[in-house]
């Protein structure tokens, strides 16, 4: 017997998108992430036990405005089982396996659908859209609602790529669609009165990019991109650290030191404006400011050569290397200590007791030969990609690369290209590398520019790094400084 009409199903799903904070949690059909539910859902499934997912669930836990957990098929089951957003109920008001709707996975649910088709030209509102292992609901106008760890990591509106892309929405290609046996399909065109954000195909693309420095003029920030309520904060200069296309709050900001703001969360796009400084690594500098110009370009090149914010090399020439600049051995330890100091509780929740206590108590020289196993690497990676971890990496990278450039200047280098090339080299070998001091001195015996540096490198650098030196040399030449 049908439980809802297609209009009722879609309206209920749109209400979740618009009016409730959600997070992708495997095996969860609408439970508020509060109290005992937090412990339950970090241990109910291997997917949720991953360090990064544990950190996300704990970060969303016990909020004043509760966050509700769903996965893809559990979103549909939860609504059909009576979910109503009641935070006082263990599952938000849903009653397990009620209304004749069985507890089945995404692939089993699509098999129960009628009128299965791979032709999306006549799909009706409220039909299930499916691909192997994943399911959502079509809501009309070329859009679907799905719960996925992709993109905004929650219940979200996406474009059905089979029908066509929609500006401002992430898009997914589905395999087939069909009518759920629990739904009455009323036929004809359904005109939804519910307000959906984002719901308009004309939604603009973000005006800024991750890493941009912006002027935040708002007074409120939010813990997640779909949040309805959030605490107040101060306006000022901040950096964009994440973008959630299709979310209510488009940009995630972290305040810049000395910029007057204390923002740390998701904010409205209308509160984000261009400032004189657009990017932390693209700050406008004059050609005469050799240090700033060299740091600006060296930062891009070093990050391209090293790794992402969550990258971990378990054994890099005898010791670990981590993060966007691949800090090695004792320097990796120092970075992790900094991250832990900024948010001890979060670090403890991500790292196991043994690893956490080792990092806290370790001395620098004990990590000269410290390598990692796969489990340790996964936990450290999860720590690095937290907002605190990203902020610590950015600050350390800026300080390090500035020090590299100044060291090159202390050896007599003045050419910007030579300083960029030098900075990338000492990022691998260390600021006080005698090898790179010799390279600089030999380059200064001729023209002292980047070509002289490259020629001097050929006789002074291990062959295994020649390919990187050639890559950096070509990148510097392409800058046409």
- For residues 247-273, give the mean pLDDT: 81
Highest mean pLDDT, choosing among 69-83, 201-215, 239-253, 337-351: 69-83
Question: For strand 67-70 and strand 21-24, is the pairing parallel, antiparallel, or unpaired?
Answer: parallel
- For residues 400-423, give the mean pLDDT: 94
Query: pLDDT at residue 309 above 80?
Result: no
Query: pLDDT at residue 193 above 70?
Result: no
Query: Environment class of residue 293 by beta-carbon count within 10 Å: exposed (0-12), middle (13-18) or buried (19+)?
Result: buried
pLDDT in tens, 362-387: 998 899 999 999 889 888 988 888 88
- For residues 297-314, give the mean pLDDT: 81
How far apart CA 40 and CA 345 sit, in angstroms, is 19
Q: Mean pLDDT score of the chain, rounded to an integer?
A: 85
Percent of the chain residues past pLDDT 90, beyond the cut? 48
How far apart CA 124 and CA 91 sit, in angstroms, is 29
- For residues 164-176, give the mean pLDDT: 87
CA gyration radius, the chain: 26
Query: pLDDT at residue 306 above 80?
Result: no
What pLDDT is stored for residue 287 in this prediction? 41
Query: pLDDT at residue 197 above 70?
Result: no
What pLDDT is stored for residue 227 in this prediction? 66
What pLDDT is stored for residue 205 in this prediction? 53
Query: pLDDT at residue 83 above 90?
Result: yes
What pLDDT is stored for residue 466 in this prediction? 81
Query: pLDDT at residue 200 above 70?
Result: no
What pLDDT is stored for residue 460 in this prediction? 61
Query: pLDDT at residue 66 above 50?
Result: yes
When pLDDT is cut at 50, 70 and 90, the band that residue 311 belongs to is confident
Query: pLDDT at residue 202 above 70?
Result: no
Query: pLDDT at residue 74 above 60?
Result: yes
Higher pLDDT, 165 or 31: 31
pLDDT in tens, 464-480: 678 888 888 988 887 77
Percent of the chain residues past pLDDT 70, beyond the cut? 89
Q: Locate tokens 């790094």: which residue?
A: 465
Higher pLDDT, 243 or 24: 24
What pLDDT is stored for residue 255 in this prediction? 82
What pLDDT is stored for residue 286 in this prediction? 45
What pLDDT is stored for residue 405 in this prediction? 94
What pLDDT is stored for residue 203 in this prediction? 38
Query: pLDDT at residue 189 above 60?
Result: no
Instruction: Please state the pTM of the whole predicted model.
Output: 0.46
What pLDDT is stored for residue 226 in this prediction? 65
How far apart CA 2 and CA 8 sit, in angstroms, is 12
What pLDDT is stored for residue 52 in this prediction? 82
When pLDDT is cut at 50, 70 and 90, the band that residue 407 belongs to is very high
pLDDT in tens, 285-298: 444 467 888 888 88
- Spans of all domains in the chain: 4-184, 212-279, 292-479
What pLDDT is stored for residue 336 in this prediction? 95
- For residues 309-333, give the mean pLDDT: 89
What pLDDT is stored for residue 174 in this prediction? 94
Q: Which residues contact 136 (CB under 8 A, 6 or more apart)?
A: 72, 128, 129, 130, 144, 145, 146, 147, 158, 172, 174
Structure tokens at 152: 């905004």
Structure tokens at 391: 């902020």
What pLDDT is stored for residue 199 in this prediction? 35
How far apart CA 374 and CA 362 sit, in angstroms, is 20
How far apart CA 73 and CA 145 sit, in angstroms, is 11
Query: pLDDT at residue 219 above 90?
Result: no
Higher pLDDT, 133 or 225: 133
- For residues 355-364, give the mean pLDDT: 93
How far apart CA 238 and CA 262 sit, in angstroms, is 9
When pLDDT is cut at 50, 70 and 90, the band that residue 206 belongs to is low
How far apart CA 345 and CA 291 sit, in angstroms, is 38
- For residues 337-363, give the mean pLDDT: 90
When pLDDT is cut at 50, 70 and 90, the band that residue 147 belongs to is very high
How far apart CA 170 and CA 152 sit, in angstroms, is 10
4-184 topology per CATH: endopeptidase fold (from Nostoc punctiforme) (3.90.1720)
- For residues 8-18, give the mean pLDDT: 90
DSSP state string for 402-456: HHHHHHHHHTT---HHHHHHHHHHHHHH-TT-HHHHHHHHHHHTTT-SHHHHHHH
């Amino acid at each position: 017997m049908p439980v809802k009409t297609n209009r009722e199903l879609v309206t209920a799903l749109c209400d979740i998108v618009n009016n409730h904070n959600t997070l992708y949690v495997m095996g969860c059909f609408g439970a508020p992430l509060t109290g005992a539910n937090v412990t339950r859902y970090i241990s109910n499934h291997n997917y949720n036990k991953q360090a990064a997912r544990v950190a996300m669930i704990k970060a969303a836990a016990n909020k004043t405005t509760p966050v509700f957990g769903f996965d893809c098929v559990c979103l549909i089951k939860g609504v059909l089982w009576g979910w109503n957003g009641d935070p006082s109920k263990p599952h938000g008001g849903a009653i397990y396996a009620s209304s004749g709707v069985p507890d089945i996975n995404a692939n089993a649910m699509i098999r129960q659908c009628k009128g299965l088709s791979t032709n999306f030209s006549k799909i009706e509102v409220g039909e299930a859209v499916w691909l192997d292992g994943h399911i959502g609901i079509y809501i009309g106008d070329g859009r679907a609602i799905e719960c996925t760890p992709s993109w905004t990591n929650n219940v979200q509106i996406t474009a059905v790529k089979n029908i066509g892309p929609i500006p401002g929405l992430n898009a997914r290609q589905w395999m087939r669609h069909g009518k759920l046996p629990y739904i009455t399909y009323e036929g004809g065109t359904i005109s939804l009165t519910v307000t959906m954000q984002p719901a308009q195909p004309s939604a603009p693309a973000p005006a800024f990019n991750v890493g941009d420095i912006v002027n935040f003029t708002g007074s409120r920030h939010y813990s997640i991109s779909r949040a309805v309520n959030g605490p107040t904060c101060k306006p000022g200069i901040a950096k964009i650290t994440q973008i959630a296309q299709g979310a209510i709050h488009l940009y995630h900001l972290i305040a810049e030191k000395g910029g007057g703001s204390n923002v740390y969360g998701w904010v409205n796009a209308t509160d984000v404006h261009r400032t004189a400084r657009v990017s932390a690594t693209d700050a406008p500098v004059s050609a005469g400011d050799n240090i700033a110009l060299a740091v600006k370009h060296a930062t891009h090149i070093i990050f391209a050569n090293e790794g992402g914010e969550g990258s971990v090399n378990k054994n890099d020439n005898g010791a670990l290397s981590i993060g966007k600049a691949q800090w090695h051995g004792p320097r990796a330890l120092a970075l992790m200590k900094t991250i832990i100091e900024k948010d001890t509780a979060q670090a403890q929740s991500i790292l196991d007791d043994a690893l956490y206590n080792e990092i806290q108590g370790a001395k620098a020289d004990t990590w000269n030969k410290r390598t990692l196993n796969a489990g340790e690497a996964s936990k450290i990676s999860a720590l690095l990609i937290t907002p605190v971890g990203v902020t610590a990496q950015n600050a350390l990278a800026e300080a390090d690369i500035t020090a590299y450039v100044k060291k090159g200047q202390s050896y007599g280098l003045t050419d910007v290209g030579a300083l960029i090339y030098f900075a990338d080299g000492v990022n691998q070998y260390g600021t006080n590398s005698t090898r790179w001091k010799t390279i600089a001195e030999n380059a200064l015996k001729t023209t002292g520019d980047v070509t002289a540096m490259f020629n001097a490198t050929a006789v002074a650098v291990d062959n295994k790094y020649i390919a990187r030196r050639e890559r950096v040399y070509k990148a510097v030449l392409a800058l046409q400084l």
